[in-house]
Structure 1
Amino acid sequence: MTDTPRGGTVLLDDVGAALRDARPDGPDERFEQTAWLALLASTGDGLLRRTQAPAHLTASAAVLNEDGSQTCLVFHHKMRKWVQPGGHFEPDDTSGAQAAAREVVEETGLTGRVLGAPVLLSRHGAPCAPGVVDWHLDLQYLMVTPVVEPTPSDESPQVKWWPVGELPDNLASGVPELVHRAGQVLATTLRTPGTSR
């Protein structure tokens, strides 16, 4: 995506609200939240474009089943590691949660309910444009869906459910932390009916 998303102000407002609503755990996460909000304020919708350097926003989701015992991961062929489904914002996206849900559908065929604000904000190396874009600033959500057979895609030909206690060895950095945090959020949600986070 090289143009401004058609979601425009709505998407920009949602991403700002999602960043403010994220619940950082500790000083490192609080710093990331503050830095991302400052970048968004100074860059505006440019931060939503995949051409924005040295960093741009992406959206992903930890996909868990209803009791949090399993997670669906995709094999990232550039990195040669298992990751959660996710990717760049697209022109028709209207929110971070919707963008994450779209990526899950595109990469796994799974649909489900995205719960609340991002469970984690993850800054990690960007494989999309080495030497140009240094960082992906990933809004990481939680999606809950039944365990059904995922549908591989051209983008993600290897898709698999894993028990959260038996994740594969070749995981991308940060995936275990995301799955753990998403499980905590889901457990809290299950204990508190009527909450979205």
Structure 2
Amino acid sequence: MSDLSQGGGRLLEDVGAALRDAQPDGPAERFEQTSWLALLASTGDGLLRREQAPAHLTASAAVLSPDGAQTCLVFHHKMQTWVQPGGHFEPGDTSGSQAAAREVLEETGLSGRVAGVPVLLSRHPAPCAPGVVDWHLDLQYLMLAEVLPPTPSSESPDVRWWPVGGLPENLASGVPELIQRAVQVLKA
């Protein structure tokens, strides 16, 4: 089991603060926020571990160009769809936004500025192990990055920038809504 309690619980505290500070858009998102906070209170850092079934927290980012006209997506080889970069918390992570930035760097080679508060909270099924589908409770952040050539990874054989108005057809569920919300936050 991975040790996610490093730093005196700083990660756990940050994730709790990020959840409390998120600005839900409507009753469905408020329900998710309240439910996740209750789960976090009852399970502690267990909710940060991928071994926590049937659900665990993850972090991802909608990567936008500074003008909000382009987004960088990765092709997820297990799901065979385009998704935003993201993944599980790992030892050494200090915050949700830092974990999202780490995942973006690992999956795309890009770095940039990540907003401190998630722009969206998304609960979705994910294939975490062969034959097992868990729920990801995904803290979805906004990252601004220069439009540089991305670098594919072993997890994502294809990584590319797409015009926000011309996204690929085989997007994972929820990705269009995340990109739309991220652009709204950027333009606000």
State the partner residue of 1:75.
75
In 2: Cα distance, 1:107 partner to 1:35 partner: 29
Q: Select between 160-169 and 130-139 the one with higher mean Cα deviation.
A: 130-139
State the partner residue of 1:141.
141
Structure 1 alignment gaps of length 5 or more: 189-197
Other structure's SS at 1:127 match:
strand
Please say if residues 54 and 132 of structure 1, whose CA atoms lie closer than 8 Å, have aligned partners that are also in contact. no
In 2: Cα distance, 1:8 partner to 1:133 partner: 31
Tell me the percent identity: 79
Structure 2 alignment gaps of length 5 or more: none
State the partner residue of 1:193.
none
Q: Deviations over 1:80-127 (max 9, x none)?
A: 000000000000100000000000000000000001300000000021
State the partner residue of 2:174.
174
Paired AA for residue 184 in structure 1: Q
In 2: Cα distance, 1:168 partner to 1:132 partner: 27
- Name the TM-score, length of structure 1 as normaliser: 0.92
Other structure's SS at 2:99 match:
helix
Other structure's SS at 2:82 match:
strand
In 2: Cα distance, 1:51 partner to 1:43 partner: 12
In 2: Cα distance, 1:170 partner to 1:7 partner: 39
Write the mapping of 1:1-197 to structure 2, written as runs, cut at 5 A. 2-5=1-4, 6-129=6-129, 132=132, 134-188=134-188
Across the aligned residues of Structure 1 and Structure 2, the Cα RMSD in angstroms comes to: 1.1
Please say if residues 120 and 140 of structure 1, whose CA atoms lie closer than 8 Å, have aligned partners that are also in contact. yes
Please say if residues 62 and 71 of structure 1, whose CA atoms lie closer than 8 Å, have aligned partners that are also in contact. yes
Paired AA for residue 17 in structure 1: A
Q: How many residue pairs are counted as aligned between the two chains? A: 187
Paired AA for residue 13 in structure 2: D
Change beyond 3 A, Cα 1:99–1:7? farther
